[in-house]
Amino acid sequence: MVTSSELRARARESLRGQWGRAAGFTLVMLLIGALPNVLPAIGQIAIEICAGALALGAYSYFLLVSRGERPPFVELFSGFADFIRSFLVYLLVLIFTILWMLLFIIPGIVAALRYSMAYFILKDNPEIGALEAIRRSKAMMVGHKWRLFVLLLSFIGWILLCIPTFGIGTLWLNPYIYTAVAHFYEDLRLRGESLSGSFAAQDSPPPPPPNSF
């Protein structure tokens, strides 16, 4: 089982040589997110409509980083080529999470963790629908929600250190977190493929006995 410290180490290795690029990418994300402050009504509506596509683009960027690639900034807008599915994932996850939060805050947090892999899955599986991506995320996270929670919690010290920088430190912290979570997804994906291969091997019929003369 890969630990939080190992996932953070993998994230640092993936970001080696491109911390500046990742910080610039994060700056673009934050500037787009600040649009409602510039255009309060129109900006907020635009962000809500585009949130799914932008989220898919952001997850895609850091997933590629975790795989050793150097994606361009325009990867942030790649989700618009898959606008409908990304919007539906955003909308459904939002609805499901809010419904769980109506019960209590903890079920809401659990729901957010349960659906957290949906955008990664959407990126890797262009043939499936939004509900299927959410279903696969739910299945993938069985037994691993606490692991992801601990991973995210392990960044609390870095988050506190960003406070004196008036938020500037988040330009480097956000890529660190996103890339670590991308490695978390990769670990689960590869683990699932490995288990599927093992089960397939177990289910296959035994080879026929050699001919005897």
User: What is the full DSSP assignment across 191-210?
Assistant: HHHHHHHHHHHHHSPPPPPP
Contact 180, 7 (CB under 8 A): yes
| C-alpha dihedral sign at 155, 92, 97, 90 | positive
pLDDT of residue 105: 86
pTM of the model: 0.86
Please give the Cα distance from 155 to 158 (Å, whole number).
5
Contact 15, 22 (CB under 8 A): yes
3-state secondary structure of 67: coil
pLDDT of residue 198: 47
Q: What are the 10-residue block averages of pLDDT along the chain, 213 residues in total? A: 94 96 94 80 85 96 97 94 96 93 88 96 95 96 96 95 91 97 96 59 48 39
pLDDT of residue 195: 59
pLDDT of residue 213: 31
Q: In the numeric block, which tokens belong to residue 144?
A: 């691993």
pLDDT of residue 85: 96
pLDDT of residue 161: 92
pLDDT of residue 4: 95
pLDDT of residue 196: 56
